[in-house]
Amino acid sequence: MEESILKVERLSHRYSVQWAVRDISLEISKNGIYGLLGSNGAGKSTMMNIICGVLKQTEGSVHIKGINMRENPVAAKRHIGFLPQQPPLQMDLTVEEYLEYCSFMRDVPSKEVNKAIDKALDRCGISHFRKRVIHNLSGGYQQRVGIAQAIIHEPAIVVLDEPTNGLDPNQIVEVRHLIKDIAQDRTVILSTHILPEVQATCEYIRMIEQGTLVFSGSVDEFDNYIVPSTVEVSLIARPPVEDLRSGIPGVLQVEELGGTRYRLHFADAQEALERVAEVSATRGWRLNELNMEKSSLDAIFAELSKK
Q: Is residue 294 predicted with pLDDT exceeding 60? A: yes
Q: Is residue 78 predicted with pLDDT exceeding 90? A: yes
pLDDT for 299 equals 67
Q: What is the mean pLDDT of residues 11-37?
A: 92
What mean pLDDT, rounded, does the chain reach?
88
CA gap 20, 10 in Å, rounded: 13
Top mean pLDDT of 109-118, 185-194, 243-252 is at 109-118
Q: What is the mean pLDDT of residues 156-166?
A: 90
The confidence band for 30, taking pLDDT boundaries of 50, 70 and 90, is confident
37 secondary structure, DSSP code = E
Q: Is residue 269 predicted with pLDDT exceeding 70? A: no
Buried b (16+ CB within 10 A) or exposed e, 210-246: bbbbbbbeebeebeebeebbbbebbbeeebeeeebee
189 closest CA partner among 13, 5, 2? 5
CA gap 178, 124 in Å, rounded: 7
Q: Name which of 30-34, 79-83, 172-176, 292-296 the model is least confident about.
A: 292-296
Q: Is residue 252 predicted with pLDDT exceeding 50? A: yes
Q: What is the mean pLDDT of residues 298-304?
A: 68
User: Angle 130-78-215 (CA atoms, 0-180°, nearest 5)?
Assistant: 100
Amino acid identity, position 153: H
Question: Rounded to the nearest 10 degrees, what angle do helices 139-151 and 113-123 cross at?
Answer: 140
pLDDT for 1 equals 45
Q: Provide CB contacts within 8 A for 149, sequence distance 6+.
A: 81, 83, 87, 88, 98, 99, 102, 120
Amino acid identity, position 214: V
pLDDT for 97 equals 97
Domains of the chain: 6-223 (3.40.50.300), 230-305 (3.30.70)
Share of the chain above pLDDT 70, in %: 91
Q: Is residue 2 predicted with pLDDT exceeding 60? A: no
